[in-house]
């Protein structure tokens, strides 16, 4: 941190700039944060049947998710136990005849990960196949979402791993929704730059003019209505007449059944599962945004829009209109994050400064520091 930043009483400095591009620091974050956390791995509908699979890339780790013969979610490192070959080259597909076969020497595994065949191996009586099952990864499922944890000591997954999210989103019955559109975007920025952008709306007036017309509080540089509301005022962050995130704020789609008046009035309900995902639910659809680190200065976003089945089956359903504003915001945020990353390489910029509205960024930095300090 520069002397100039230290000398300003009451000013909070950001993380050091090198934390956003140094390879060694990035590896430490992978080991202490990403490889020890429950991460959202997408939607269960992507692997509906036994033998269906998809591959998830997290840092330098590749994970295969599938369902065994009992349709239980299973996850394994995408690595053969023979000499470490990659098992799955495709990002998704179906294992033939319920077998996972290594493309190198054809070692074969069941959908539960047990080694079942080693073709052409010379038998010497000392080989015990039970010692060479696939490396299992802890996996779980909640309301149609898949989760993995790369920590070999991870506790079994249950709702408690998600904090207050299950109760917050109970009214939407997200397990009944289906994905209507998925957008995948690779950004030239560190994963923390994206989360910092998410954690504040100081950038919103200049970056998101269309969104600010729908959520006026964003246009004041704040993330929450409570920050500028009068004491006791009802929470109504959307503009008058707006009901959802769409261009113009209107919706001709069916609303979710069972929403409370407060949930309808709020118009947007957020839930964060750091470091890998956040959820947003509106009256007529919901979104999942997965955040995946690929390299010190590369991050992948996978954005999924989910709708009730009755919405997707409507002949007049306009998917482009339903996702237009969300896609615009993703592109705008992506450009801002990439500009931020490029500037961090300055020889003079040792650390940034956080202002009053950026308490969410400060909280995020504290969260990162706490996990980096955990060497257990």
Half-sphere exposure (Cβ direction) of 213: Cα atoms closer than 13 Å: 9
User: Residue 234's pLDDT is what?
Assistant: 43
Residue 236 — pLDDT band, cuts 50, 70, 90? low
Average pLDDT rounded to a whole number, residues 227-240: 59
Q: What is the pTM of this model?
A: 0.93
Residue 244 in contact with residue 284, Cβ under 8 Å? Answer: yes
Q: Provide the 3-class DSSP secondary structure of residue 94.
A: strand
3-class secondary-structure state, position 289: strand
What percent of the chain lies above the pLDDT cut of 90?
89
Q: What is the DSSP letter of 270?
A: E
- Residue whose C-alpha is closest to residue 300's, from 57, 64, 82: 57
Strand stretches in 44-169, DSSP E? 52-58, 61-67, 73-77, 92-94, 99-101, 108-110, 115-117, 136-142, 145-149
Question: Stretch 50-73: mean pLDDT, rounded?
Answer: 98
What pLDDT is stored for residue 356 in this prediction?
87
Q: Are 297 and 190 in contact (CB under 8 A)?
A: yes
How many Å apart are CA 35 and CA 359, to the nearest integer?
27
Token readout for 174 is 């997200």
Tokens representing residue 201 in the block? 């709306």
Residue 28 CA from chain centroid, whole number: 20
Question: Does residue 8 carry a pLDDT above 60?
Answer: no
Q: 70 pLDDT band (50/70/90 cuts)?
A: very high
| pLDDT score, position 233 | 43
pLDDT at residue 269 greater than cutoff 50: yes
Q: Got the DSSP string for 240-252? A: TT--SSSTTS---
Backbone angles phi, psi at 258, to 5 degrees: 85, 5
- Burial label for 179, CB within 10 Å (0-12, 13-18, 19+), is middle
Residue 222 has a pLDDT of 87
CA distance 303 to 308: 17
- pLDDT band (50, 70, 90) for residue 127: very high
184 DSSP β-pair partners? 302
Statement: residue 268 has pLDDT above 50: yes
pLDDT > 70 in the chain, percent: 94
pLDDT at 283 over 80: yes
pLDDT at 98: 95
The pLDDT tens digits of the residues spanning 304-362 come to 999 999 999 999 999 999 999 999 999 999 999 999 999 999 999 999 999 988 999 99
Helix, strand or coil, per DSSP, at residue 239: coil
Residue 302 near residue 184 (C-beta atoms within 8 A): yes
- The conformational region for residue 215 under phi > 0 = left, psi -120 to 50 = alpha, else beta, is beta
Contact between 106 and 81 (Cβ < 8 Å): no
Cis peptide before 120 (omega within 30 of 0): no
Looking at residue 223, its pLDDT comes to 83
Per-residue pLDDT tens over the stretch 157-183: 998 999 999 999 999 999 999 999 999
> Look-up: residue for tokens 């010379």?
122
The pLDDT score that the predictor gives to residue 9 is 52
Q: At 209, which helix (H) or strand (E)?
A: helix 209-214
Q: Per-residue DSSP letters for 292-359?
A: EEEETTEEEEEEEEEE-HHHHT-TT--HHHHHHHHHHHHHHHHHHHHHHHHHTT-SS--EEEE-GGGH
Distance separating alpha carbons of residues 181 and 302, to the nearest angstrom: 10
From 90, 84, 81, 48, select the one nearest 67 (Cα to Cα): 48
What's the Rg (C-alpha) of the chain? Answer: 23
pLDDT of residue 263 exceeding 80, the answer is yes
Query: Which pLDDT belongs to residue 130?
Result: 96
């Amino acid at each position: 941190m520069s002397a100039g930043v230290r000398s300003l009483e009451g000013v909070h400095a950001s993380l050091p700039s090198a934390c956003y591009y140094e390879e060694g620091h990035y590896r430490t974050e992978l080991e202490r944060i990403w490889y020890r956390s429950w991460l959202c791995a997408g939607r269960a509908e992507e692997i509906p049947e036994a033998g269906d699979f998809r591959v998830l890339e997290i840092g330098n780790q590749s994970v295969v998710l599938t369902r065994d013969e009992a349709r239980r979610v299973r996850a394994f490192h995408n690595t053969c136990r023979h000499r470490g070959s990659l098992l799955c080259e495709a990002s998704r597909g179906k294992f033939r005849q319920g077998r996972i076969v290594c493309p190198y020497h054809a070692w074969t595994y069941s959908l539960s990960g047990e080694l079942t065949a080693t073709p052409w191996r010379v038998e010497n009586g000392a080989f015990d196949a039970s010692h060479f099952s696939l490396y299992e990864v802890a996996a779980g499922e909640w309301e149609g979402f898949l989760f993995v944890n790369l920590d070999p000591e991870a506790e079994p997954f249950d709702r408690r791993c998600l904090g207050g999210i299950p109760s917050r989103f109970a009214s939407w019955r997200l397990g009944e929704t289906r994905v209507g559109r998925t957008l995948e975007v690779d950004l030239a920025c560190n994963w923390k730059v994206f989360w910092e952008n998410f954690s504040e709306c100081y950038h919103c007036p200049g970056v998101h003019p269309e969104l600010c017309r729908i959520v006026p509080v964003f246009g004041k540089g704040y993330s929450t209505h409570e920050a500028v509301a009068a004491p006791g005022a009802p929470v109504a962050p959307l503009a008058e007449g707006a009901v959802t995130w769409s261009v113009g704020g209107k919706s001709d789609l069916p609303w979710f059944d069972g929403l409370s008046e407060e949930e309808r009035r709020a118009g947007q309900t957020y839930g964060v599962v750091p470091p890998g995902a956040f959820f947003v639910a509106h009256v007529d659809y919901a979104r999942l945004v997965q955040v995946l680190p690929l390299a010190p200065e590369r991050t992948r976003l996978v954005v999924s829009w989910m709708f009730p089945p009755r919405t997707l089956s409507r002949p007049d359903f306009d998917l482009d209109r339903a996702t237009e504003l969300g896609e615009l915001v993703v592109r705008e945020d992506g450009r801002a994050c990439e500009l931020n990353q490029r500037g961090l390489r300055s020889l003079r910029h040792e650390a940034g400064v956080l202002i009053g509205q950026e308490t969410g960024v400060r909280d995020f930095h504290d969260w990162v520091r706490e996990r980096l300090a955990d060497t257990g």
